[in-house]
Amino acid sequence: MPESGSLSRPALILPILALLALLVGCSQQQTVLEVDEEVVVARQSFSFAEGETFDLMPKYSISPGDTLDVLFQIRTWLEKDTFNISVDHTVAVKFIYTPELNEEQLVRPNGMISLPYIGEYYVVGKTPKQVEQELRKAYAGILKDPEIYVQVPEFQSAIKELKRDLHTAPRGLSRLVTVRPDGYVTFPMIGEVMAAGRTIESLNTELNRDYERLISGLHVDLFLERHSGSLVYVLGAVKEPGAFTIVKPISVGQALALAGSYSTDAQLDSVIVARHHQGKVIATRIDLSRSGALGGHKAMFYLMPDDLVFVPRTRLSEAAQIAQQVRDALMFRGWSISIENIAIDEL
């Protein structure tokens, strides 16, 4: 028989069970919407992704597999402040008092023409007026009061040849080029240019600078003919793991729907999202088990192209566990990455 003043075992257990039930109930308490009630749901992503819009993709960057359309334009109608002699221009040198010395020559690839008495003379990059002045000085010790005039009767040889080549091609003034897996593109006359990771605008600016150096008046417009697709990756305890094409940012919940939803053994309180950022892979853990909290952050967590979602089958709580799971998932995709290059983002 128990001592006086003490409680029986059943009397002790019942309050403890009641307290545990209350604690469990509190820990799992979710916000329940009333019928016809409306709430505003926040949207967020990684802590370093401030200023991102979740309605549109970030500014498009060229990717391997993209097809670019290069449209050439010959802008010979544009007026220029100065006219400089270039390779392939025809230069005529006229001697007023000694016409037997007159010369009309095509500028050679080394920028030279050959003139009587003085031999090779460099003209590329100079204006006709500059060449006149220099030649008058050069011939001052050879001829008496030399009167020399310089003309450029033909300066469209390269443009005419380019037009001929372009018009005989199947697409006329347009060329289609594909970004290789190494990120480079081979452009006509220029050769290889790194394109991956750049915007259409920045690449177009560089191309026009390079083409203008080659042929004055040659301009190109660059268009995205076909893109290789923006992908997110969903792996782990889902019914249809794989890569999925997206046309705008989507939430983690939408990504799971693309993968056929989660499997019965999924640990929704330890879902991992990983993203490339400044040379590292940043990972975070979100809790999808509390639907009222929408991922544990009271906000819908949004994904961007190339993000990875991993749904584990065991609960993850330590940063080292998360990093290891991310590494294994990335290796599944064929990426070689060390745990040191994986950072954990605390939301």
pLDDT value of residue 33: 60
Bridge partners (DSSP) of residue 174 are: 71
Region of 297 on the Ramachandran plot (φ > 0 left; ψ -120 to 50 alpha; else beta): alpha
Task: Note the pLDDT of residue 321.
Answer: 57
CB contact at 8 A, 68 and 133: no
Q: What is the pTM of this model?
A: 0.55
**Would you give the end-to-end CA distance of the chain in angstroms?**
56
Low-confidence ranges of the chain (pLDDT < 50): 1-30, 77-78, 292-297, 317, 332-342, 344, 346-347
Residue 339 pLDDT:
42
Please answer whether residues 70 and 187 qualify as being in contact, where contact means their C-beta atoms are separated by less than 8 angstroms: yes
| Ordered structural domains, the chain, with CATH | 42-60+229-344 (3.10.560.10), 67-76+158-226 (3.30.1950.10), 90-155 (3.30.1950.10)
Both tokens assigned to 320? 């080292």
Three-class HEC string of the chain: CCCCCCCCHHHHHHHHHHHHHHHHHHHCCCCCCCCCCCCCCEEECCCCCCCCCCCCCCCCCCCCCCEEEEEEEECCCCCCCCCCCCCCCEEEEEECCCHHHCEEEECCCCCEEEECCCEEEECCCCCHHHHHHHHHHHCCCCCCCCCEEEEEEECCHHHHHHHHHHHCCCCCCEEEEECCCCCEEEECCCEEEECCCCCHHHHHHHHHHHHHHHCCCEEEEEEEEECCCEEEEEEECECCCEEEEECCCEEHHHHHHHCCCECCCCCHHHEEEEEEECCEEEEEEECCCCHHHCCCCCEEEEECCCCEEEECCCCCCCHHHHHHHHHHHHHHCCCCCCHHHEEECCC
C-alpha distances out from residue 49 to 26, 149, 234, 299, 308, Å: 32, 64, 20, 15, 16
What is the amino acid identity at position 83?
A: F
User: Tokens standing for 20?
Assistant: 């545990």
- What's the one-letter identity of residue 36? D
- CB–CB of 288/253 below 8 Å? yes
Q: Beta-carbon neighbour count of residue 135 at 10 Å?
A: 20
Determine the pLDDT at residue 257. Answer: 93
Q: How far apart are CA 283 and CA 276, in angstroms?
A: 9
Pairing between strand 230-236 and 271-277? unpaired
Q: Hey, which residues does 224 pair with through a beta bridge?
A: 68
Closest CA to 146 of 125, 132, 159: 132
120 token code pair: 């090779």
